Amino acid sequence: MDKNIIGDENVVRPWGFYRVIAQGKNYASKVIHVNIGQRLSVQSHNHRAEHWVVACGRAKVLLNDKEFTLEVGQSVDIPIKTIHSLANPYEEELEIIELQMGEIISEDDITRYSDIYGRV
């Protein structure tokens, strides 16, 4: 896996890390790296929509009450206030490119419904 991610620092989370690669007034773009066997919280956002594209590995995606797998090059749109999650139950690293779009782009814009790391 290519570790040449643009940006100046990784933000470490229990599930892996992310790095902001572009940011403007109403958008942000990140590389999200999910370690093998890990998952992000089941969450929603009140002020931003997201678009995910799988760059490496496979992604297990929860979108409202539907669960599905995305392969490299496939993508999904996550509208504002949609309950969603991202997991990597596979035997390879997962990286996605995430584009956040909205009036407020903030890490505080997260409502968590469940989380295996106790952050609810």
Phi, psi of 95 (to 5 degrees): -135, 135
Walk across the sheet containing 27-34 and list its strands.
11-13, 16-24, 27-34, 94-102, 48-56, 75-78
Query: Three-class SS of residue 57?
Result: coil
Please say if the pLDDT value at position 116 is more than 70: yes
* Residue 69 pLDDT level (bands cut at 50, 70, 90): very high
Please say if the pLDDT value at position 6 is more than 70: no
Q: For residue 1, what pLDDT is reported? A: 45
Neighbour tally for 44: CB within 10 Å:
18
Q: What pTM was computed for the model?
A: 0.91
User: How far is the C-alpha of 77 from the C-alpha of 58, rounded, in Å?
Assistant: 16
Q: For residue 67, what pLDDT is reported? A: 98
E-state strands within 6-81? 11-13, 16-24, 27-34, 38-39, 42-44, 48-56, 59-63, 66-70, 75-78
Report pLDDT digits (tens) over 26-52.
Answer: 999 999 999 999 999 999 999 999 999
Task: Please name each of the domains of the chain with its CATH number.
Answer: 11-114 (2.60.120.10)
Q: For residue 2, what pLDDT is reported? A: 47
Which percentage of the chain shows pLDDT scores above 90?
Answer: 93
